[in-house]
Amino acid sequence: MRLAVSLMCLSLFGAQGVARAQTAPTPAYAPPPAMEQAPAPQPQYVPAPPSQGPVETPRERAERYSRYSRFSSGEGGLLLIFTELISGTVTGAFYGHALGKTNGAYVGGVVTGLTLGTAAALYQYYVPVERNEAALAATGAALGFLAGFGYGTQAKLSDKSRAVTTLLTTQLGIIGVLAATSSVGDVSDGDTSLVAMSALYAFVLTGLTQATVYLADDDRGRINLAPSLVAPLVGMGIGGLLAVPFELRPSRVFKLTAVPLGVGAILLVVGTALADGPAVPLTAMGGVVASFVITALATADDYTDYPPSRTGRRLRSRRGEAFKAMPVPVFMRAGERGDSLTAGPGMLLRF
């Protein structure tokens, strides 16, 4: 009996424990506290330096403080440094060799090259030197060296005087370009091509003129090449003056250079094979001039009678006129036996 009562009590207590365990509330899941992130720092605005006077606009102030790189203010600074290093080394070596001392050429080249290269590095750091400007400066250095060395050789100057003259003319070609282009920004491609074309034409036409005069003189002596060597530097200056009122396309400048000089080269080769005397360079020079005029007329820009934004019927272009006349060179055989070649002016009529 006691055993039965004990089993009943144990079963009752077990049932109550199971029911209490089922009815007990389960605690809700609490996520771990999120870590607080520090706010991102705001970018600090650095204002531009104050204006250096009442006439300086904000745009000019921004351009003054803009740089091409941390070592150069313009794109052509490295080319300018290289030009001064090479030109200073060569001309300094000439001057050191003229002094007649041991290792004078080496010491003169190193000292002059490093001095001029350092000066160019400082200049291009503060003053922007653009790409075409640096290319013109390198061209001016080469033509200045040619002019100074050629003049000193033809004038029979002493080695020291010739070295000094070459150094001065080389630096004149560089400084002249930098002074002429320092306030206008970079030089356009058309103006750069025009300056190069003027220098090349000055050399070719001066050389042909000297050859004509030399061959026409019966009492021929030693020919003086100084004018032909100085002419490219002068032609470069003339091209710089022509670049102010004219703005030509580089493609047109290439045609104005390649076609006339090609015609002149052909006439010079053919004339040398068929004739002799002053007629050969004179004919070549006439062919160059005539071809230049024809090419300039053939590559002229089209006429626009109305602006592009205006509607309406366009007038007939001048290229469509019924009659057009152009000067052209005419070549024919000459001489008693017809074994010579001569040139003269002609006229091409187009209907």
Q: How large is the average pLDDT for residues 171-196?
A: 88
pLDDT digits (tens, 9 = 90+) for 82-119: 999 999 999 999 999 998 888 889 999 999 999 999 99
- What pLDDT was estimated at residue 78? 93
- What pLDDT was estimated at residue 46? 58
- Give, in order, the Cα–Cα distances in Å from 338 to each of 264, 270, 344: 22, 15, 16
- Give, in order, the Cα–Cα distances in Å from 162 to each of 36, 92, 105: 80, 12, 15
d(CA 51, CA 45): 18
* Cα dihedral value 333, 334, 335, 339, nearest 10: -20
Greater confidence, 185 or 156?
A: 156
Burial call 166-182: b when 16+ CB within 10 Å, e when fewer: bbebbbbbbebbbebbe
Predicted confidence (pLDDT) at residue 307 exceeds the cutoff of 50: no
- What pLDDT was estimated at residue 302? 47
Predicted confidence (pLDDT) at residue 6 exceeds the cutoff of 80: no
Report residue 266 as tokens: 């052909």
pLDDT digits (tens, 9 = 90+) for 285-296: 999 999 999 999
d(CA 35, CA 212): 94
pLDDT digits (tens, 9 = 90+) for 20-67: 444 445 555 555 665 556 666 666 655 656 555 545 566 665 555 567
SS3 content of the chain, % helix, strand, coil (to 5): 60, 5, 35
d(CA 276, CA 214): 12
pLDDT digits (tens, 9 = 90+) for 189-242: 999 999 999 999 999 999 999 999 888 887 777 788 889 999 999 999 999 999
Whether the model clears a pTM of 0.85, i.e. scores above it, the answer is no
- What pLDDT was estimated at residue 328? 67
Q: Write the CB contacts of 208 (distance below 8 Å, at least 6 apart in sequence).
A: 264, 281, 282, 284, 285, 288
d(CA 252, CA 258): 10
Greater confidence, 348 or 7?
A: 348
Nearest-CA neighbor of 186 among 272, 109, 127?
A: 127
Band (pLDDT 50/70/90 cuts) for residue 12 is very low
User: Could you write out the DSSP letters of every residue in 233-301?
Assistant: HHHHHHHHHHTTT----HHHHHHHHHHHHHHHHHHHHHHHHH--STHHHHHHHHHHHHHHHHHHHHTPP
Phi–psi pair at 157, nearest 5 degrees: -75, 165
Q: How large is the average pLDDT for residues 314-323?
A: 42
> In this structure, are residues 192 and 134 in contact, taking their beta carbons and an 8 Å threshold?
no
Q: Which of 13-27, 105-119, 263-277, 337-351 shows the lowest per-residue confidence on average (mean pLDDT)? A: 13-27
